[in-house]
Amino acid sequence: MSNKKSLFEKLFRDYQAMVRQMCLGFMKGDEDDAQDLAQEVFINTWSALDSFKNTSSHKTWIYRITVNTCLKYIRDKKAGNQIRIDLMQEQIAEPENQSKQSEQQHQSLYRAIGQLSEVDRLVIMMVLDELDYKDIASVIGINEGNLRVKIHRIKKNLKKILEND
Amino acid sequence: MTDDLNDLKNKWQGAKKSQSSQSMDVQEIMTLSKKKMKSAIVMHLKNIIILSITLVVLFLFFKYVAPLQEVLSQIGIALMIGGLVVRILIEFYSIYLSYQIDMSDTAMQNSNSSLEFFKFRKTIHGSVMYTILGLYTLGFYALTPEFSLYFSTIMMVLIDGSYLVIAVIVGYFINVGIKKEMKYLQELLTIQNDLHT
C-alpha cells in the first residue's frame, strides 16, 4: 500500500502539469471543467495503478489514462446532457478577472485547437507536448504510418483555423 | 505551416509552465479515489442486492405464506423466480464486463471494450429485459386461478390491475435505459470512427 502511495505521489508530482494542461486544452480553456477532468484522470490513475505492467513508460501510461478519461468524460456528458455540450461549443472560455496578456494568448491557443474534433484535439495536444510519434501511436493504438497521415491532416485543419482567426 | 506549429508549440509550453505553479492536493485525490472505488462497488452491487432480496422474499412467500399447489401456479412461480435468477446472473456478467474496461489501455482498445460492454447492455436492457418482464408477467398471472380461490373478485382485480400498472412503469424505465445506452453507443461509434480516420 505504501509503495502504491509513494509511486502515486511521484506520478502526481511528475505529470500533474502535463495532465492539467491536456485537460485544459481538451475543455477549450474552461478552468473548472479542466480541474474536474484532471482530478478524474488521477482518480483513474490510482485505480489502475495495481495493474500497471512495465510494458510501457509511466509517461505513456499516464497519457493513455488521460486520453481515455477525456474521451469518456465527453461521451458521458454528451450521452447524459447534450445541451451542456452544445453550450460548451459557444462558451470557449473568456479569460477570468486577471486578464493578462499571456492568459489571452493561452485562450487563443485553446480556442484554435478547440475547433478540432475531440480525437484530433488529443492527438495535436500530444504533438504540441513534443511526445514522439511512436509514443502517440501507442497511446492511440494505431500504427505509426496511419498516425503520420492523421497528424498531417490535423495540421492542415489547424492551419485553416488559424488563418480564419 | 511549420512556423504556425512552432508558434503553437511555444504557446503550449508557456501555458504548461503556468500549470506547474498550480497544484492539486494529492491527499485529497487519494481520498477521493478510494471513495469513488467504494461507491462504484456499491453501485454495482446495489441492483444485485435489491434483486436478491426480492428473490428471497418471493421464495419465502411461496414456501411459507402461500404454498400454492396447482401445476399452473408452480409454473408461474418457476417463471417469476427463474426470471429473477437469470437477471441476477446477467448483472454479475455485466459487472465482469465493466471491469474489463481498462483506462490504461490504448484509446482504440479502450473504445473496443467499452463498445462491447455497451452493446451487451443494450441487448440486456432491450430484448432480454422485455423477455424477462414478459415471462415474469406471465408467471404472475398464472397464479391468478389458484389465488382467486382464496381472494374475492374485487381483490383479484386490484392485485392483477396494480401489477399491470407496475409493469407499464417498469417497461417505461426499460425504454429510457435503452435510449441512454443507444446514445452511449452512438458516441462510442463516432469516437471509434475518429480514431480510425
Give the mutation candidate from B33, B36, B105 for the A interface (greatest A CB count, under 10 A): B33
Among A24, A61, A142, the residue with its CB nearest the CB of B108 is A142
Interface of B with A in 30-49 (CB under 8 A): 30, 32-34, 36-37
Tell me: pLDDT of A96 over 80. no
Question: Using a CB-CB distance cutoff of 8 angstroms, which residues of chain B are in contact with residue A69?
Answer: 103
Record the cell numbers describing residue B119, joined without a space. Answer: 452493446
Cα(B128)–Cα(B107) distance, integer angstroms: 30
pTM (predicted TM-score): 0.81
Q: Say how many CA atoms lie within 13 Å of B137 toward its Cβ.
A: 16
> Residue A122's pLDDT band (boundaries 50, 70, 90)?
very high
The list of chain B residues with pLDDT below 70 reads: 1-3, 19-23
Cβ within 8 Å of residue B14, ≥6 positions away: A102, A105, A106
DSSP-H helix ranges across chain B: 2-20, 26-60, 71-99, 107-123, 129-142, 144-147, 153-196
Question: Using a CB-CB distance cutoff of 8 angstroms, which residues of chain A are in contact with residue B20?
Answer: 16-17
- The alpha carbon of residue A91 is apart from the nearest alpha carbon of chain B, in Å, by 20
Contact between A128 and B14 using a beta-carbon 8 Å cutoff: no
- For residue range B151-173, list pLDDT tens digits in order: 899 999 999 999 999 989 988 88
Closest among B34, B35, B196, B44 to B117, alpha carbons compared:
B44
pLDDT at B138: 94
Cα(B68)–Cα(B89) distance, integer angstroms: 26
Record the cell numbers describing residue B138, joined without a space. Answer: 406471465
Closest among B118, B114, B58 to B88, alpha carbons compared:
B58
> Residue A80's pLDDT band (boundaries 50, 70, 90)?
low
pLDDT at A86: 39
Cα diameter, chain B: 88
Under 8 Å between Cβ of A158 and A124? yes
What percent of chain A has a predicted confidence (pLDDT) above 70?
83
Residue B100: CB atoms within 10 Å: 11
Buried b (16+ CB within 10 A) or exposed e, B52-65: eeebeeeeeebeee
Q: A with B: how many residue pairs have Cβ under 8 Å apart?
A: 148
Residue in A closest to B186 by C-alpha: A79
Contact between A16 and B108 using a beta-carbon 8 Å cutoff: no
Contact between B4 and A9 using a beta-carbon 8 Å cutoff: no
B189 touches chain A (CB under 8 A): no
Residue in B closest to A57 by C-alpha: B104
Question: Using a CB-CB distance cutoff of 8 angstroms, which residues of chain A are in contact with residue B113?
Answer: none
Could you tell me what percentage of chain A is helix, strand and coil, using 3-state DSSP and rounding each to the nearest 5?
80, 0, 20
Closest among B26, B44, B103 to A50, alpha carbons compared:
B103
Cα(B176)–Cα(B170) distance, integer angstroms: 10
pLDDT at A82: 42
Choose from A38-47, A75-84, B8-17, B40-49 the range with maximum mean pLDDT: A38-47
Among A78, A102, A141, the residue with its CB nearest the CB of B187 is A78
Contact between B14 and A102 using a beta-carbon 8 Å cutoff: yes
Tell me: pLDDT of A90 over 70. no
Closest among B151, B189, B195 to A141, alpha carbons compared:
B195
Contact between B106 and A139 using a beta-carbon 8 Å cutoff: yes
Record the cell numbers describing residue B79, joined without a space. Answer: 417463471
Residue B24 Ramachandran class (φ > 0 left, ψ -120 to 50 alpha, else beta): beta
